Structure 1
């Protein structure tokens, strides 16, 4: 019996350094706007060349209160680059923003911004949303090319998910 314990301890000590090197899996509780195509959707579709966001468009998460397309996440900084060839979707003065959620967090609010102006807010009251969710947003106070920042404020964490959508208001 002592030899088994000694052998098990030796094996454990030998593999421990390798266990530390194994990366942890990413959480699947994320979401993004897929229509009109957000910047991360354009990356995932290959419309615009991007880095790692191509494979995980749902992962733009950062602290609540940010106003950046990358959610302050350096891995996805290309989403903040307005010089990229983002395609602006022609819309009228109203738009329906469709979210795809890979898992549903209980949600405080959904917010939509153009610049520093909050153009819409939807209170989820801490409930879990469905896997597909849409919001109709009135953008009649704006025209031409605009970047809409859509924010999903999670109810039970300090984080939010961020998605920027380039639109051409009044072009449809």
Structure 2
């Protein structure tokens, strides 16, 4: 009888553990990151600068298929696409330092920066995992005035990327 109880307990434990084992690798594969400085739209949501939906609680989760050209990246956080929400605009010069903060890191193909559909920077990630934070210098190439910068982190080991928009005034 003891032997069958142990066998039953082992089967029960395996039944509970198997789904957990399946879930753990999946969650660790979720890379997360966002532009923390200058404050991206999702960083402004998280800080309460602008009233937003659920992105307030997970600014690092603006993830969508590679190739998107919207602030939400095609994610459920569509409020990030709304240019009329009163986003805080940061004054910058002809170059600005962009800092990404990662809560989970993935090997990186590259980081892309766009203004008005025009690519203004493409920085290799060298197929490496980034550190906890990484900063890039982005040159506006003569642009001036209010600009919306789309920043994209293309990760190397999935078909997804992470998206952030930064509202700036280039002086």
Q: TM-score category by the smaller chain? A: 0.7 to 0.9
- Structure 2: where are the runs of 5+ without partners? none
Encode CA deviations 1:113-150: one digit per residue, 9 max, x unaligned. 01210000001121111111000010132111111000
Q: State which of 27, 46, 49 in structure 2 corresponds to 1:47.
A: 49
Q: Distance in 1 between matches of 2:122 and 2:43?
A: 22
In proportion to residue count, which structure has more strand?
2
What's the offset of the Cα at 1:3? Answer: 8.4
Encode CA deviations 1:4-63: one digit per residue, 9 max, x unaligned. 59x87xx99xxx9xx9xxxx9965520000000000000000000001000100000100
2:70 corresponds in structure 1 to: 68
TM-score, normalised to structure 2, is 0.84
Q: Distance in 1 between matches of 2:158 and 2:31?
A: 12
Pairwise CA RMSD: 2.6
Q: Distance in 1 between matches of 2:33 and 2:4?
A: 51
Q: Does 1:86 pair with 2:87?
A: yes
TM-score, normalised to structure 1, is 0.84
Number of aligned residue pairs: give it: 163
